[in-house]
Amino acid sequence: MIKRLSCWMIGISIVGLLGCATVSIQTDYDPSVDFKRYETYAWDTEQQTPSDALARDPLMRKRIKKAVDQVLQEKGFRLKTAGSVDFTVVVHAGVKERMRVTNWGSRGWYDPWWGPYGGQVDVSYYTEGTLVIDVIDADTRELAWRGINEGIVREYADVEQMEKSIQETVREILKAFPPDVENSNRK
């Protein structure tokens, strides 16, 4: 029971990041890669690590992969399960507990004059999550593009809301893929 609850909490944490109020999306790519030649892709299972939060939650990995497939296919890329491909995709995730300290100062209005009267420090704890989508060039086996979403984790009331949030987040991350969009015939 405890193990099941633990896995559930990891899943909630990962998903929570996908719909965070404070979101940071970053992308980077190798400018020497000709992204216009990319047409087909496959999922890379060799790059998975046991410490990855998605390794501990296969249902969440499945939901994220489904969202990535949908977005890539909307952009005109074709998923292949056999044969050679132009690039492979890997998803990673992680969660960290964080602490935020806000010092409101030690001065304020103290009738009838300004002066020190104590101070206030607020401490809050939150969970920060990261979702990474990597595109690896199939010929060179090197990282060609990376999209990262970092944010504060939140919980969801139901699976449908969670899946919608995953789809929105993956779409936002992959908005910048391929990086040469204006010179490409892709959407």
Predicted local distance difference test score (pLDDT) of residue 23? 66
pLDDT band at 110 (very low <50, low <70, confident <90, very high): low
Predicted local distance difference test score (pLDDT) of residue 21? 45
Domain count of the fold of the chain? 1
Tell me if 80 is assigned to some domain.
Answer: yes
pLDDT tens profile 131-185: 999 999 999 999 999 999 987 777 778 888 889 989 999 999 999 999 964 544 4
Q: Which has more pLDDT, 52 or 1? A: 52
- 74, 42, 151, 14 alpha-carbon torsion, rounded to 10°: 110
Mean per-residue pLDDT for 44-63? 80
Q: What is the CATH number of the domain that holds 148?
A: 3.30.160.670
Tell me if 186 is assigned to some domain.
Answer: no
Instruction: Tell how strand 121-137 and strand 87-103 pair up.
Output: antiparallel
Tell me if 187 is assigned to some domain.
Answer: no
Q: Which has more pLDDT, 128 or 71? A: 71
Tell me if 75 is assigned to some domain.
Answer: yes
> Domain span at residue 173?
2-181
Tell me if 121 is assigned to some domain.
Answer: yes
Q: Please state, in angstroms and rounded to a whole number, the distance separating the CA atoms of residues 149 and 165.
A: 13
In the chain, which ranges are E strands?
Answer: 23-29, 40-43, 78-79, 87-103, 107-110, 113-116, 121-137, 143-152
Tell me if 109 is assigned to some domain.
Answer: yes
Q: Whole-prediction pTM value?
A: 0.72
Q: Please state, in angstroms and rounded to a whole number, the distance separating the CA atoms of residues 142 and 138.
A: 8
Considering the chain, what is the average pLDDT of its residues?
79
Tell me if 92 is assigned to some domain.
Answer: yes
Q: Please state, in angstroms and rounded to a whole number, the distance separating the CA atoms of residues 71 and 172.
A: 10
Tell me if 122 is assigned to some domain.
Answer: yes
The dihedrals phi and psi of 50, each to the nearest 5 degrees, come to -65, -25
pLDDT at 41 over 50: yes
